[in-house]
Amino acid sequence: MKPTIVLVGRPNVGKSTLFNRLTRTRDALVADQPGLTRDRHYGIGRVGERDYLVVDTAGFDPVAKDGIMHEMARQAEQAIAEADVLLFLVDGRAGRTPHDEQIAARLRRAGRPVHLVVNKAEGLERALVSADFHALGFGAPLPVSAAHGDGIKQLVELVLAPFPEDGDRKSTRLNSSHLVIS
Ligand code: GDP
Ligand code: MG
């Protein structure tokens, strides 16, 4: 099985732009209008010999009770359940917001590894960006620019490091009758 990377974060932080970067497609709709990606959206990416699945979600309001925001939250919840690892995106230009803090509270209960990704970080002072978002409690924030491609390769390698490579898995299958990792 390919590891499944799920992108979550409030609307407009750049999830769909990052999805496109990670899958090298234009599949996810990128727009200035918040909330445009209403369904979960799947794509396959590859770094070196390693394939991974990426899931884009709509902007996520974990406390929405009805309407389209509720439906988006439901989709995001399903995506979280499918995740091997979560990328929690925030906007380095906007700074930390109360909405980010709500999402952080939800993700703390996700029972999955979470990496905090500070997008739109091109040209921003790394130390300042990190200081602001450190308070969300997911360790050192990883600054990237999805639009420019900065920091993406390092991000993917870090995120996938705990997962076995396909090559390893194949040889595990061939060499052992009772140890199958899939
Ligand atoms: P989503 O709602 O989280 O999926 O966000 P989108 O991917 O649709 O992007 C929202 C807006 O942020 C768009 O105008 C993007 O062009 C812009 N954006 C995305 N990534 C970056 C980035 O790395 N830097 C800057 N400056 N803008 C970005
Ligand atoms: Mg989107």
Q: What separation in Å is there between the alpha carbon of 39 and the centre of ligand 1?
A: 18
- What is the spatial distance between Cα 178 and Cα 182, in angstroms, rounded to a whole number? 12
pLDDT tens digits for the chain (182 residues)? 789 999 999 989 999 999 999 998 655 556 555 555 555 688 888 888 888 999 988 766 666 676 766 766 777 788 889 999 999 999 999 999 999 999 999 999 999 999 999 999 999 998 888 889 999 999 999 999 999 999 999 999 999 999 987 655 444 433 333 344 33
**Atom of ligand 1 at shortest distance to CA of 37?**
4
Q: Write the residue with the smallest CA distance to atom 25 of ligand 1.
A: 120
Q: Is 46 exposed, middle or buried (0-12, 13-18, 19+ CB in 10 A)?
A: middle
User: Contact, 47 vs 158, CB < 8 A?
Assistant: no
Whose atoms come closest to the Cα of 33: which ligand? Answer: 1
Q: Please list every protein residue whose CB sits less than 6 Å from any atom of ligand 1.
A: 9, 11-17, 30-32, 34, 37, 59, 119-120, 122, 145-148
